[in-house]
């Protein structure tokens, strides 16, 4: 097979050529430090300011509410630690969910070791956060609610507006990790009453190693990095001018094209799912069938190992992922699929296909053909018993 097929766009995306073109001068021509007072610095600062404006426009906030970071991992660390430390005297309770990204869950675990209390909300079988539990666990000590906008493994899009309204009514700050949602769904922090939001550039055809944290002005959050006066003295360190320029352009493009892109991806993704389900037995879609990221198809194949599928597809030039890229190296059971109560054997047989702007119908047809033969081969050598086959065929997930 000559052409490689990349179906791992939830892990990262290819840099958009328009974005690259906009970044180029900032490597070796307009290379000043954006904090310098001379013309080299002023030119760099103007570019950073423009990127800040573009991102603010993309999410409906003011430019001075955007703080550039090295990515969403840093933004998630900042908001959790920053709110916790700034509000120590007001309360010590944080609410999040069981299906968050490790940059939220590991940071919460760290805060628990420091004496904070964290409630991890359950999700239903589609991956929607249990709103009844949110209402139940809210208390006068709650200082932050952090729920992701869309899940990176199963693609389920949360009812963020409903959660934000509850937080708002109770006067509790609401943060959302919108890393996967940016460019896929409309995000207007003003309309949606979101107080803080984490973003990343490399999931939207921008460069890697840059992202942002939106912090509503007036929200009590400690600064993250100490040092110079960059980012209003809240996140010290010379800013990554080319990265920020690229991120700004990528946000402008993805918010401009959101409707057309989502429509194209959805129809290609649904075609893929239909083809797979028609041609392969005992395969189940994870997450909500409709309220999901337009490019995500998380599928569990009975009686096969996800890793084996991944390696066999890779041998044919097709790139996919088991679980999320961050945890798939560890061969640990996905915490997200576990939270959905998916049986262990199906968790093991789960593969995430995430389409991108470059994906074509030919790519999908080719992938389905290869997948059919890979699953057939793997099932042929699978040691699973006839009894298990019978149980699975009855649709017992
Ligand atoms: N949150 C979510 C939901 C993600 O999917 C990712 C990337 N896998 C991150 C946070 C971390 O983003 P970054 O790579 O920019 O640190």
Q: Which pLDDT tens digit goes with each residue over 321-337?
A: 996 444 445 557 899 99
Output the pLDDT for position 389.
55
Residue 390 pLDDT greater than 90, yes or no: no
Cβ pair 140, 186 in contact under 8 A: no
- Distance from the alpha carbon of residue 97 to the mean position of ligand 1, in angstroms: 16
Output the pLDDT for position 382.
74
Decide: helix, strand or coil at residue 231: helix
Average pLDDT over residues 273-302: 98
CB distance 103 to ligand 1 below 6 Å: yes
Alpha carbon separation from 369 to 3, 20, 154, 279 (Å, rounded): 15, 34, 23, 9
Q: Chain centroid to CA 50: how far?
A: 25
d(C-alpha 245, C-alpha 241), whole Å: 6
**Domains of the chain as residue ranges with CATH:** 5-13+259-381 (3.90.1150.10), 17-256 (3.40.640.10)
Lowest mean pLDDT among 202-216, 264-278, 370-384: 370-384
Q: What is the pLDDT of residues 167-184, one digit of tens each?
A: 999 999 999 999 999 999
Cβ pair 274, 369 in contact under 8 A: no
Tally of CB atoms within 10 A around 153: 30
- Distance from the alpha carbon of residue 199 to the mean position of ligand 1, in angstroms: 8
d(C-alpha 141, C-alpha 181), whole Å: 29
Q: Quick check: is 326 catalytic?
A: yes
Output the pLDDT for position 331.
59
Alpha carbon separation from 355 to 10, 109, 342 (Å, rounded): 8, 32, 24
Average pLDDT over residues 35-57: 98
352-375 as b/e: b if 16+ CB within 10 A: bbbbbbebeeebbebbbebbeebb
Q: What sign does the dihedral 380-384-387-391 (CA atoms) show?
A: negative
pLDDT above 70 covers a percentage of the chain that reads: 93
Q: What is the pLDDT of residues 186-209, one digit of tens each?
A: 999 999 999 999 999 999 999 999
Average pLDDT over residues 148-164: 98
Residue 22 pLDDT greater than 90, yes or no: yes
Average pLDDT over residues 74-102: 97
- Listed in sequence order, the residues at least 6 apart from 256 whose beta carbon sits closer than 8 Å to its beta carbon are none
- 79, 101, 202, 209, best to mutate for ligand 1 pocket (most atoms within 8 Å of CB): 101
pLDDT above 90 covers a percentage of the chain that reads: 92
- Listed in sequence order, the residues at least 6 apart from 375 whose beta carbon sits closer than 8 Å to its beta carbon are 280, 283, 301, 304, 309
Output the pLDDT for position 381.
86
Q: What is the DSSP letter of 332?
A: P
- 200, 244, 324, 330, best to mutate for ligand 1 pocket (most atoms within 8 Å of CB): 200
Residue 280 pLDDT greater than 90, yes or no: yes
Residue 397 pLDDT greater than 90, yes or no: no
């Amino acid at each position: 097979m000559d052409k490689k097929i990349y179906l791992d766009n939830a892990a990262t995306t290819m840099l958009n050529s328009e974005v690259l073109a906009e970044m180029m001068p900032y490597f070796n021509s307009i290379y000043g430090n954006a904090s310098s007072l001379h013309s080299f610095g002023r030119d760099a600062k103007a570019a950073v300011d423009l990127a800040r404006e573009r991102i603010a426009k993309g999410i409906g906030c003011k430019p001075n509410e955007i703080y550039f970071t090295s990515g969403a991992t840093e933004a998630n660390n900042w908001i959790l630690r920053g709110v916790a430390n700034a509000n120590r005297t007001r309360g010590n309770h944080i609410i999040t969910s069981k299906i968050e990204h490790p940059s939220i869950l590991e940071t919460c675990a760290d805060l628990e070791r420091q004496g904070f209390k964290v409630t991890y909300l359950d999700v239903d079988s589609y991956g929607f956060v249990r709103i009844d539990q949110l209402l139940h666990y809210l208390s006068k000590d709650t200082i932050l609610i952090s729920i992701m906008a869309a899940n990176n493994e199963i693609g389920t899009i949360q009812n963020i507006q409903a959660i934000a309204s509850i937080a708002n009514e109770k006067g509790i700050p609401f943060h959302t990790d919108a890393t996967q949602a940016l460019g896929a769904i409309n995000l207007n922090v003003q309309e949606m009453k979101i107080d803080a939001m984490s973003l990343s550039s490399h999931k939207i055809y921008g460069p890697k190693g840059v992202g942002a944290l939106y912090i509503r002005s007036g929200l009590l959050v400690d600064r993250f990095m100490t040092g110079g006066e960059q980012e209003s003295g809240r996140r010290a360190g010379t800013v990554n001018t080319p990265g920020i320029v690229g991120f700004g352009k990528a946000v402008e493009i993805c918010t401009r094209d959101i409707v057309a892109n989502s429509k194209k991806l959805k129809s290609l993704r649904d075609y893929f799912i239909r083809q797979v389900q028609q041609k392969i037995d005992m395969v189940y879609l994870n997450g909500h069938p409709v309220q999901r990221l337009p490019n995500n198809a998380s599928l569990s194949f009975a009686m096969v190992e996800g890793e084996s599928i991944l390696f066999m597809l890779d041998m044919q030039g097709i790139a996919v992922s088991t679980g999320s890229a961050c945890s798939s190296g560890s061969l640990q059971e996905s915490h997200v699929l576990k939270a959905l109560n998916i049986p262990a054997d199906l968790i093991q047989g789960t593969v995430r296909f995430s389409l991108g702007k470059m994906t074509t119908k030919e790519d999908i047809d080719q992938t389905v053909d290869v997948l059919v033969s890979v699953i057939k081969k793997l099932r042929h050598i699978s040691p699973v018993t006839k009894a298990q086959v019978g149980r699975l065929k009855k649709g017992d997930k």
